[in-house]
A and B are shown apart, each in its own frame.
Chain A
């Protein structure tokens, strides 16, 4: 079964809507569906080995973050029953809020990761352009994604540079966190400098506000219409209870 990028975009929008509008239980079930989809449905498998390798550590970090959010909320929102876990008083209302927020965050992040892992950026740009988005916006999307792609490499480079200067990047967690702060300013500065240089480079190659470009990418699949209809109906089902009295 082949899915076009617009089908995938519709499915992404559906899961984002579930994350924002549906109850926490639906978000947790959706996370499982997204994970199964990534594992079993060929259109959602990662296209590059690197994105496949990075998925699990990132997902586990998100689960850890959701867990920490639940614990912190359980400690701070002091309403309802109290559960003593490892000597800590966790309140029911806080745990519920933490689970709700954590599961929503997990669903948003997981569906975005699966989506961007299973599409190529030029195909995404082509699809956006065909959907009627102006060249300038498509270019901005492409350049932003390109910049985001380079961030892990930049962090590694800056980390190596800091390590070469004796920064304790591989020692205790607190020291590592401290050294991580020291990479933020070079990371942000180098990002700003490169954005300016890249803008100059594009202008030096004749790119301007009125430029009409062609974007590389495959055609639509036959499932597009059905996919869109399914998503629109799903969105109505989710949003309707919020709108109706």
Chain B
């Protein structure tokens, strides 16, 4: 079972004098769940994932934070101060940025992660073969990672993080720019990864979330407007239409 994520009293500013992205924010994500964090642009979704992964403290040196983030019983006060990979893996919004650009095949691109972790060649080969199969990438193993379709590239970016077996997997708008088929494939992949891995992903429309998640959080201006299960979210959806585009959705 993946770890739970408990955030209490989180206040986060990019600069000491700037408006807080989060103010006394609290949230509880059960272990092993597939949690969708929804909300309009600027709601703080990406920042939240960066905080959980440790990238926020590591990269925004001017940031000021208060509160506590607890991941699977491990408390970080106020927030994780360094990147928590491989325990926590973050898949960025743009897969072309996540792909290193220094490897010429999908296979070696995925292997790059394991090399970073200091894994020996024999152990790496088995793991990479396994992940290629699980992510239906075996037939693309010798292709250049930059010469793939958007959906395929997204799968490679995801595989390059999942190969390290993170307990908590964070995805920033993973369904962004994917066609319906690729979205369905991604949804199935994420379902297979849980409950061994806790999955937290962001999106600005509820469509992919409804296909994938079992837990829903609606963020707006750094505060929770809704938190609950799939059934509770479906019931509340009409009252949340000011924050979520639901037109034309088959519910």
How far is A211 from B112 in the complex, measured between Cα atoms in Å? 11
The answer to whether A201 touches B92 (Cβ under 8 A) is yes
Residues of A within 8 A of B55 (CB): 200, 203-204
Residues of A within 8 A of B115 (CB): 211-214
Residues of A within 8 A of B164 (CB): 205-206
Residues of B within 8 A of A125 (CB): 102
The answer to whether B104 touches A216 (Cβ under 8 A) is yes
**Residue B59 interfacial (CB < 8 Å):** yes
The answer to whether A205 touches B97 (Cβ under 8 A) is no
Interface residues of B in 17-38 (CB under 8 A from A): none
The answer to whether B94 touches A197 (Cβ under 8 A) is yes
Residue of B nearest to A207 (CB): B116
How far is A127 from B164 in the complex, measured between Cα atoms in Å? 28
B232 to chain A, nearest CB (A): 32
Q: What's the A-B contact tally at a CB cutoff of 8 Å?
A: 72
How far is A125 from B113 in the complex, measured between Cα atoms in Å? 18
The answer to whether A196 touches B53 (Cβ under 8 A) is no
Stretch at the interface among A9-17, A59-67, A138-146, A218-226: A138-146
Size range of the interface on A? 20 to 34
The answer to whether A213 touches B112 (Cβ under 8 A) is yes
The answer to whether B102 touches A197 (Cβ under 8 A) is no
Interface residues of B in 101-131 (CB under 8 A from A): 101-104, 108, 112-113, 115-118
Residues of A within 8 A of B39 (CB): none
Other-chain residue from B103, B117, B160 in contact with A122 (beta carbon distance below 8 A): B103
Known contacts A194-B97, A196-B59, A197-B94, A208 near B116 by CB under 8 Å: yes
Residues of B within 8 A of A206 (CB): 85-86, 113, 116-117, 164
**Residue A202 interfacial (CB < 8 Å):** yes
Of A121, A196, A207, A216, most buried by chain B (CB within 10 Å of CB) is A207
Residues of A within 8 A of B58 (CB): 203
**Residue A120 interfacial (CB < 8 Å):** yes
**Residue B100 interfacial (CB < 8 Å):** yes
The answer to whether A205 touches B113 (Cβ under 8 A) is yes
Residues of A within 8 A of B161 (CB): 204-205
B100 to chain A, nearest CB (A): 7
How far is A201 from B101 in the complex, measured between Cα atoms in Å? 11
Residues of B within 8 A of A204 (CB): 53, 55, 83, 85, 89-90, 92, 98, 161
Further contacts, 14 of them, CB under 8 A, given A143-B102, A205-B164, A206-B86: A197-B94, A201-B92, A202-B100, A203-B83, A204-B53, A204-B89, A205-B112, A205-B116, A205-B160, A205-B161, A206-B113, A206-B116, A213-B115, A214-B115
Q: List 23 A-B contacts (CB under 8 A).
A: A120-B104, A122-B103, A139-B102, A143-B102, A196-B59, A197-B94, A198-B101, A199-B59, A200-B55, A201-B98, A203-B83, A204-B53, A204-B83, A204-B89, A205-B112, A205-B116, A205-B164, A206-B117, A206-B164, A208-B116, A211-B118, A213-B115, A216-B104
The 4 closest A-B pairs by CB, nearest first: A206-B116, A146-B101, A142-B102, A197-B97
